[in-house]
A and B are shown apart, each in its own frame.
Chain A
Amino acid sequence: MGRTQRANWKINIYAWLLLLPSLIFLILFTFYPVLQTVILSFHQADLGTPEPFFNGGENYRQMLEDEVFWKVLTNNLWFALGTVPTSMALGLAMALFANKVLRGKGFIRTAYFYPTVVPMIAVANIWLFIYTPEYGALSHVMEWFGQREMNWLGDKTNVMFAMIFMVIWKEAGYFMIFYLAGLQNISKELYESASMDGARPWTVFRRVTFPLLMPTTMFVMIIAFTNSFKLVDHLVIMTKGGPDNASNLLLYYIYETAFSFWDQGMASALTIVMVALLLLVAALQFFGLDKKIHYN
């Protein structure tokens, strides 16, 4: 064995040893559970079956016929569509402004960002009061405009808007941080040469700022999209998915199926759908957008 080969071996072992601790937890709480879930999703495993048995694609078949499943899936897509682009755009606007504003910079950043450090469960408590009919803050405000009876959480059409608005409030400031980081990485010379050419602010944004922020946008998009499937804590406090599943989301439905109805086979099938969906979208974002991105 030559010297370089021996050195290679050493580096390989060394690198794998360094990665081992992370890898163990990664396998134990991501890859092994997903594998087990795939298997369990092909089994009948609920309260009525003491010993789980293989039932082919029965869970998946039932799932496709389950109205609630389609309901939570469409809800979740609307929820993603309502929260992801808006909170990203707002986060970008916040970053552009917080980057420029001269007086009260700290105040502005703090005001935008603090919802991120408030737990969702506390946010839900506060916003429950805001949305409460008659006594809530929103009702008081609506009263000034001559409207009183608005039931935000009890109404099937309103509840989703109420949730989307709250989540945008919670998340926009978090995305602002990533955009602020992105803005700091754009070289000042580009802006100088743009102003030498007499470019207007909007043109500068469209031709310089926005394209150069594309890597940030992609990163934020993945986080925002994953979050739209992850954020369900508020449902426990505010609506429990109601009324009539109008605010129910996929993860909360999994939680109900697994821990209220104890249908483990179905909960597994639902989990697999969720994982597949997230990986698919991540892959699309990754491979589709990656080509269009200018790395500086």
Chain B
Amino acid sequence: MFRKLTGAAMFGLAALWLFPLLWALWTAFRPREQAISWTLSTDLTMANFVTVWNGAPFAQYYLNTFLIVTVILFVQIVTATLAAYAFAKLRFWGRDVLFLLFLVQLMVPADILIFPNYNVLRDLSLLDTKLGIMLPYFASAFGIFLLRQTFKTIPHELEEAARMEGCSWWQILWRVYVPLARPTYIAFGLVSVSYHWNNFMWPLIVTNSVENRPLTVGLAIFAQSFETGAQWAEVSAATIMVIFPLLLAFFLFQRQFINSFIHSGVK
């Protein structure tokens, strides 16, 4: 009895959790004059999406976001792999202190340092550039910890065997560690991509021009351009458009996403 009740409650919770998305979807496909009413009707239209696509340079925003997310992920993987290997497998002078310094970044992430980092970017003359949006995130403490944890579980014998075969250090890294840590890379990749696809405050501060603005900032500007609630249908359509690629990827790979995260042994 108790088990059935909790089960029902948890399914109810799932329904509650799904509601905002379903409602936004429904609103986005309805004719705009019906958007604020709750009367059931079967009129569905793509008109809102057409209006939105023509109303703001979303193609450019997509491209910007795509570029920002890709470059950040690529650089993060390189820097995190090197650092994680050092922390996981080497005993060196100052390791504990350095580790603590990296830990600090986990607690004081770049997102909080919006004002000081704005000054750094200004000093580097990188304001209103895509590189400026990306730069603070090139080193990821989160990625380093995740990979370090995985590298630690890889037995040292494998590395020694590879060395006997005459592999150089980067060959060992590339042929032994990286392939064995694949699930962790996938997990980290998905987290990083979704994080930077969604990042808003920092790009809002850094960018001024359409050429550099990501989707989130574009969406905010689009949504704010309406004073009244009369354009709900359009704003919903724009919202759906922005979250669609990521959501689609998530629904397609959700098993892999969630499982890879679990198997990477986050503790």
Task: Mark interface residues in A1-32 (1 if CB within 8 Å of B CB, else 0).
Answer: 00000000001101110110111111011111
CB distance from B256 to the nearest CB of A (A): 11
Q: Is the CB of B90 within 8 A of A14?
A: yes
CB distance from A195 to the nearest CB of B (A): 15
Task: Mark interface residues in A98-141 (1 if CB within 8 Å of B CB, else 0).
Answer: 00010010111111111111111111011101101001010010
Binds B, one of A56-64, A78-86, A225-233: A225-233
Cβ of B44 < 8 Å from any Cβ of A? no
Q: Is the CB of A108 within 8 A of B236?
A: no
Q: Who on chain A is nearest to B254 by CB?
A: A110
Return chain B residues, CB-CB under 8 Å to A34: 108, 113, 116
Cβ of B167 < 8 Å from any Cβ of A? no
How big is the A interface, by class? Answer: 35 or more
CB distance from B133 to the nearest CB of A (A): 12
Q: Is the CB of A185 within 8 A of B82?
A: no
Cβ of B216 < 8 Å from any Cβ of A? yes
Return chain B residues, CB-CB under 8 Å to A184: 262-263
Q: Who on chain B is nearest to A105 by CB?
A: B255
Cβ-neighbour of B117 out of A29, A109, A237, A264 (below 8 A) = A29
Return chain A residues, CB-CB under 8 Å to B144: 22
Q: Which of A259-274 contact B (CB under 8 A)?
A: 259, 264, 267-268, 271, 274
Cβ of A36 < 8 Å from any Cβ of B? yes
Binds B, one of A66-74, A148-156, A174-182: A174-182
A-B contact count (CB 8 A): 266
Return chain B residues, CB-CB under 8 Å to A204: none
Cβ-neighbour of B115 out of A25, A115, A120, A268 (below 8 A) = A268
Q: Is the CB of A25 within 8 A of B114?
A: no
Cβ-neighbour of B86 out of A19, A121, A127, A274 (below 8 A) = A19
Task: Mark interface residues in B21-50 (1 if CB within 8 Å of A CB, else 0).
Answer: 101100100000000101000000000000
A62 to B49, CA, bound (A): 49
A237 to B235, CA, bound (A): 12
Cβ of B197 < 8 Å from any Cβ of A? yes
Q: Is the CB of A251 within 8 A of B14?
A: no
Q: Who on chain A is nearest to B262 by CB?
A: A181
Cβ of B171 < 8 Å from any Cβ of A? no
Return chain B residues, CB-CB under 8 Å to A15: 86, 90, 92, 95
Q: Is the CB of B223 within 8 A of A30?
A: no
Cβ of A37 < 8 Å from any Cβ of B? yes
Return chain A residues, CB-CB under 8 Å to B27: 129
Q: Given A33-B113, A125-B219, A226-B107, is A219 in contact with B266 using a C-beta cutoff of 8 Å? A: yes
Q: Is the CB of B120 within 8 A of A29?
A: yes
A130 to B232, CA, bound (A): 11
Please name the 4 residue pairs, one residue from A and one from B, whose CB atoms are nearest each other, closest first: A33-B116, A119-B198, A25-B139, A15-B92
Supplied contacts A23-B139, A119-B200, A258-B114, 6 more A-B pairs, CB within 8 Å: A16-B92, A36-B120, A117-B247, A121-B220, A267-B115, A271-B112
A-to-B contact residues, CB < 8 Å: 11-12, 14-16, 18-19, 21-26, 28-34, 36-37, 40, 93-94, 97, 101, 104, 106-123, 125-127, 129-130, 132, 135, 137, 140, 169, 173, 177-178, 180-182, 184-185, 215-216, 219, 222, 226, 229-230, 232-233, 236-237, 251, 254-255, 258-259, 264, 267-268, 271, 274-275, 278-279, 282
What are 25 inter-chain pairs, A to B, with CB distance below 8 A? A18-B86, A22-B79, A22-B80, A22-B83, A22-B144, A25-B135, A30-B108, A33-B117, A36-B116, A104-B11, A108-B10, A111-B17, A116-B194, A119-B198, A120-B198, A126-B21, A126-B23, A129-B236, A130-B20, A132-B229, A140-B38, A180-B262, A185-B265, A255-B114, A268-B116
